[in-house]
């Protein structure tokens, strides 16, 4: 499991890479993820920050995506 400095590094990288980008589709590869993620409307990511070891992405529709790096410390997006 990544420690706090590693999570902060990933958040800073995500801020540069995804802030202002548009989400067109989303898929979940984990059974613990809410199935509604597949029906997310096309939205833009306004901001990325962390709270403890959670990564929070603020969307332009007022909603949020809450993620955690889990045991691997990997975050994949395309």
In a domain, 47, yes or no: yes
CATH number at residue 24: 3.20.190.10
The pTM score is 0.82
Is 2 in the active site? Answer: yes
For the purposes of burial, counting CB atoms within 10 Å of the CB of 39, is it exposed (0-12), middle (13-18) or buried (19 or more)?
exposed
In a domain, 73, yes or no: no
Give pLDDT tens digits for 69-78. Answer: 888 887 777 6
Sign of the C-alpha dihedral computed for residues 24, 10, 46 and 31 taken in this order: positive
In a domain, 75, yes or no: no
Give pLDDT tens digits for 14-51. Answer: 999 999 999 888 777 777 777 777 777 789 999 999 99
In the set 3, 5, 27, 41, the catalytic residue is 3
Residue 78: predicted pLDDT: 66
* Domains: count for the chain: 1
In a domain, 64, yes or no: yes
User: Is the per-residue pLDDT at 64 higher than 70?
Assistant: yes
In a domain, 74, yes or no: no
Residue 58: predicted pLDDT: 96
In a domain, 26, yes or no: yes
Q: How confident is the model at residue 57 (pLDDT cuts 50, 70, 90)?
A: very high
In a domain, 76, yes or no: no
Range of the domain at 44: 4-68
């Amino acid at each position: 499991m990544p420690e706090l400095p590693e999570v902060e590094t990933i958040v800073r990288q995500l801020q540069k890479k995804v802030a202002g980008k548009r989400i067109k589709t989303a898929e979940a590869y984990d059974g613990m993820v809410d199935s509604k993620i597949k029906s997310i409307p096309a939205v833009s990511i306004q901001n990325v920050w962390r709270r403890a070891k959670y990564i929070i992405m603020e969307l332009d529709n007022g909603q949020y995506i809450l993620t955690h790096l889990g045991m691997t410390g990997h975050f994949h997006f395309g």
